[in-house]
Structure 1
Amino acid sequence: MVSDRKTPEVVVQLGEAKVSAAENGAMSGPLVGTKQHERTGSVVRRKSDVPHLVLRLLCMLTSVTAISFMITAREASIISIYGFQLPVYSKWSFAHSFEYLVGVSAAVAAHSLLQLLISALRLRRNSPVIPSRKHAWLIFAGDQAFAYAMMSAGSAASGVTNLNRTGIRHTALPNFCKPLHSFCDHVAISIAFTFFSCILLAMSAVQDVMWLSNN
């Protein structure tokens, strides 16, 4: 009789234990682990995607700065040749290399802005900035092409600027940057930011290669 009275209590306790174990298993099972893994992966992906956005933003800013200093490079002054005082006027559009620099910088600024907007939109939707290998190869090709274009534009503009600063040997043509120092300073700053944009594009291309090697 004693064992019969305790049997229902034991059954009830075992039933409660099974329910508790089932609830704990449901809370710590594969579903919870998957959600935690997804959240962790999302955080890691966001941290790895932020440098892409920063490089795009910096590249756009440096390109716009290069354009701004170049298109404001203009100055009028007086220069002395063989004792004659001659008025001179210099403007960035008088040199094809300066026009080339402005055109390439504008293209790079537009490319960087487009990539920045696309990347920011993907990041806001919690999607990867680089969704596929095909997209990564496309971005890599664009970054590399624009980096070479910026390098060539900066090099061409540097040659003209160096000629203005040193003059031409064995002729009466003097150093034009002495009377036109403001013009030459604007051009020099523009060229410096052009090369800086080239470096940023090269860094972005390296990031693309790293993504391709890891995926």
Structure 2
Amino acid sequence: MVAGAMESGVVANESTSGPLTYSANSQDVHLYGKAAVEKRRRSNNILLLCRALTFAFSLASVLVMGTNKHSIRNTESKVAWHNFDPYRYVLAVNAIICVYSFVETWLAVYTCAKGTLLLPETFQVWFDYGHDQGFAYLLFSANSAGIAMAQLLQSGTTLILGQYQCPDAGVFCTQARVSIALGFGAFFFLAFSSFLTGLRVARWYLP
């Protein structure tokens, strides 16, 4: 009778509406359908790592690009990142990603610490996936525009201030490329985060 009651308790727990739990005493909310709790926790930890790395790389990209201002050799002229529209694009998008990934990192820390989501489950699942997708495409677009500009400057096709080449501007071109490379690092980890949140959405609908 006790075993029957326990079995019926589990069945009732699985058949009720709302977030599923994995045991009668579990406080874990449903994130991955019927996936094991340990697998869910491991995925949460990986997602937290990706969020933190996205934040770190995007912040570094913003700092490197934002401080990219150098004097032209043997002149009083100076060149800065804001003299080129693609570099403005790179800095602006990485700044947006920095703020977004900071918020997502905080949410991921909460999820790992508490074992549950801060926001309503359905809302956060779709919020994370939708924004990861959109921001990943935006970040890739910005960094691609930046690398195209860097190649034009390096080849001499486009001149700095209309008359100077990269060697005349010290490390300006190199620093811009470093910022773009950091931006691509942020894109990589954001894209992987999008993959993980995409799996979360897909498994949500598994029978």
TM range (shorter): 0.7 to 0.9
1:118 has 2:113 as partner: no
Change (3 A) 1:129 1:193: farther
Structure having the higher helix fraction is 1
Q: Is the 8 A contact 1:133 1:212 kept in 2?
A: no
1:78 has 2:73 as partner: yes
Count how many residue pairs are aligned between Structure 1 and Structure 2.
Answer: 182
Shift of 1:209: 1.4
**Structure 1 residues 176-195: aligned runs within 5 Å:** 176-195=165-184
Identity over aligned residues, as a percent? 21
Distance (whole Å) between structure 2 residues aligned to residue 138 and residue 38 of structure 1: 23
State the SS of the aligned residue for 1:178: helix
Q: Is the 8 A contact 1:104 1:153 kept in 2?
A: yes
Alignment partner of 1:57 out of 49, 52, 61 = 52
Structure 1: segments with no counterpart, 5+ residues: 1-21, 80-85
Distance (whole Å) between structure 1 residues aligned to residue 118 and residue 37 of structure 2: 12
Shift of 1:176: 1.5
**Structure 1 residues 1-215: aligned runs within 5 Å:** 34=23, 42-78=37-73, 87-128=76-117, 132-168=121-157, 176-215=165-204
Structure 2: segments with no counterpart, 5+ residues: 10-21, 29-35
Please identify the structure whose Cα radius of gyration is greater: 1
Q: Is the 8 A contact 1:140 1:209 kept in 2?
A: yes
Question: TM-score of the superposition, structure 2-length normalised?
Answer: 0.74
Question: TM-score of the superposition, structure 1-length normalised?
Answer: 0.72
Shift of 1:37: 7.0
**Could you list the per-position Cα deviations for residues 127-157 of structure 1 after superposition, in whole angstroms to 9, with x for gaps in the alignment?**
1478634422221111111111111111222
Shift of 1:78: 2.5
Q: Is the 8 A contact 1:93 1:99 kept in 2?
A: yes
Deviates more, 1:52-61 or 1:194-203: 194-203
State the SS of the aligned residue for 2:166: coil
Equivalent residue letter for 2:61: A
Shift of 1:120: 1.2
Q: Is the 8 A contact 2:72 2:170 kept in 1?
A: no
Shift of 1:126: 2.0
Structure having the higher strand fraction is 1
Distance (whole Å) between structure 2 residues aligned to residue 166 and residue 116 of structure 1: 39
Cα RMSD of the aligned pairs, angstroms, is 3.1
Change (3 A) 1:147 1:97: same
